[in-house]
Structure 1
Amino acid sequence: MLKYRLLSAFVLIPVVIAALFWLPPMGFAVVTLVVCMLAAWEWGQLCGLSSRAQRVGLAVLCGLLLALMLFILPDYQRTIELPMVQVALWASLAWWCGALLLVLFYPASANFWRHSRVLRLIFGVLTIVPFFWGMVALRSWHYESSQYSGSLWLLYVMFLVWGADSGAYIFGKLFGKHKLAPKVSPGKTWQGFIGGLLTSAVIAWLFGIWADLNVTPGVLLACSVVAALASVLGDLTESMFKREAGIKDSGHLIPGHGGVLDRIDSLTAAVPVFACLLLLVFRIL
């Protein structure tokens, strides 16, 4: 299993970085749209859509919705100024605050949504659509003056998330004793959680030295800490939904890693939350 995980990582990471820096905003948006369609396909299983036709329909509907929203965009260089993008990012911030409560009070909180397919579909929309717009908004940030400015910001967030995930895994294996959320994800520990945050902090510091992100240290620290915490929440939230659905992995598209949602669950929270804080709360425009 570890061999497949490493091989997949060695293939996927260069592909993701190439897409960030080589594709223009429209091309990057289309690739992200495809990823979101695959995530919607897998979310169908989490919300109780048992038939393949229903899940395909959900993926197609998600793709059509995002494509329609892309089609009516007047200017990719100022994506964050569009009301529908701002609404999506604010909605994401609200949703992840709500998701925190669902995770903290699980399994009692599941009584609220366990038997409602509609609610689980809404949760999926609040997870996938803001993630899409967070990716697009950050990628197109200051594109008119620097083609790679937004790419650096997205790479920064991804490094934060990868650092938190890898650090949590290593520290959890070495020192893990106290369970972080045993009713949601028994394998996660407080030692791994703290180790992941420390790893993210080191990566953020090193990345800040290497790349000129043009933002005050205080704002960068606040956005980074919240994004790293959100990444953990995204992972726990998907684990909660998978536990209710009785499945271990959201899919089997990526050898050794499970499904697309299993790989982007942390990013679905970290990216829109980071974009909302950076571009709407602190107004780094």
Structure 2
Amino acid sequence: MKQRIVTGAIGGVIFIGLTIVGQWYYYGLILLLALIGYAEYVRMNGLKWTHPASLLGFAGMLVMLVPWRELGIGEPSAVHMLWLLMFLLLAVTVVTKNAMTIDGAALMLLGSLYIGYGFYAMFAVRNGEVHGLLTTLMAFAAIWSSDIGAYFTGKAIGKHKLWPSISPNKTVEGSLGGAVLAVIVALLFALFAPDVISVWRALLIGVIAAVAGQFGDLIQSAYKRVRGIKDTGTLLPGHGGVLDRCDSWLIVFPLLLMTGLLPLNG
């Protein structure tokens, strides 16, 4: 537990510090996390990073992470990028004479989208023209509050298992406690900056951070159970890998972008 606390504190200070600084420092952090996260994903699926399908997956993920607008380059169509990546991965199945199966190609495509767009969404929110730092901190605070609320509520009064076949320690009471705390924290941001975030937006952001964030956690738990592993990696002593720590983020931030709940542009 001591190691977990120390690692979390140091990692949290570095992460929040670079988030506050923003710009290319924050992008560099996001890029590093994405690269490590995809390396974990490849390893979880039994491939080496030098495998052609792995390299294509890495390339596809990086293309999704490129800040096209900031670089003054026209952004390619997302559908076109995904289709091209799909074609190249399927071509690998032919070239390798099915040593890489269509199932393996589909997994690499899925990983590129899951990790690449998930981390891109975090950068897009932080780099928004309207209060990018405030809205980013709000989203992270709501996600972390959901985790904290779920943990302590579950410890205190948790009795009914939420999804025992996927994550045996999670409870319905804990899940509800996390949702309540996430909404409260989001509403506090609305009270602090009502000109940026309205109450109804804050309410919806808190709900998405809690519900989608908990689903992100369960998704990763389900995948690890299928692969028979406890953690996705060993980068953070006591915390596991990047995908272990960022599983909620990778689901919540894209949803906040899609719903338009965070005011990115003036």
What TM-score, normalized to structure 1?
0.75
Does residue 247 of the first structure (1) align with residue 229 of the second (2)?
yes
CA distance in structure 1 between the aligned counterparts of 2:28 and 2:56, rounded to whole angstroms: 15
Deviation at 1:134, TM superposition (A): 0.7
SS in 2 for 1:187: strand
- Which residue does 1:8 correspond to in 2? 7
* Superimposed CA distance per residue, residues 245-284 of structure 1 (whole angstroms, 9 cap, x where no aligned partner): 000110111011011110000111111111221269x987
Pick aligned residue for 2:106 from 119, 133, 147: 119
- Which residue does 2:150 correspond to in 1? 168
Letter in 1 for 2:103: S
CA distance in structure 1 between the aligned counterparts of 2:256 and 2:67, rounded to whole angstroms: 25
Kindly indicate whether structure 1 or structure 2 has the higher relative contact order, using CA contacts under 8 Å at least 6 residues apart. 1
Pick aligned residue for 2:33 from 32, 35, 40: 35
CA separation of 1:151 and 1:189: change in aligned 2, threshold 3 A: same
Q: Percent identity?
A: 31
- Which residue does 1:207 correspond to in 2? 189
* Superimposed CA distance per residue, residues 177-203 of structure 1 (whole angstroms, 9 cap, x where no aligned partner): 111111111111101101111111221
CA distance in structure 1 between the aligned counterparts of 2:40 and 2:195, rounded to whole angstroms: 35
More helix per residue: 1 or 2? 1
- Which residue does 1:231 correspond to in 2? 213
* Superimposed CA distance per residue, residues 39-70 of structure 1 (whole angstroms, 9 cap, x where no aligned partner): 00111133332x46449x83x65554455456
How many residues are matched? 246
- Which residue does 2:174 correspond to in 1? 192
Does residue 131 of the first structure (1) align with residue 118 of the second (2)?
yes
CA distance in structure 1 between the aligned counterparts of 2:129 and 2:264, rounded to whole angstroms: 13
SS in 1 for 2:169: strand
Note the aligned Cα RMSD (angstroms). Answer: 3.1
CA separation of 1:237 and 1:189: change in aligned 2, threshold 3 A: same
CA distance in structure 2 between the aligned counterparts of 1:259 and 1:164, rounded to whole angstroms: 20
SS in 1 for 2:150: helix
CA separation of 1:194 and 1:208: change in aligned 2, threshold 3 A: same
Letter in 2 for 1:9: G
SS in 1 for 2:170: strand
What TM-score, normalized to structure 2?
0.80
- Which residue does 2:70 correspond to in 1? 75
- Which residue does 2:162 correspond to in 1? 180
SS in 1 for 2:247: helix
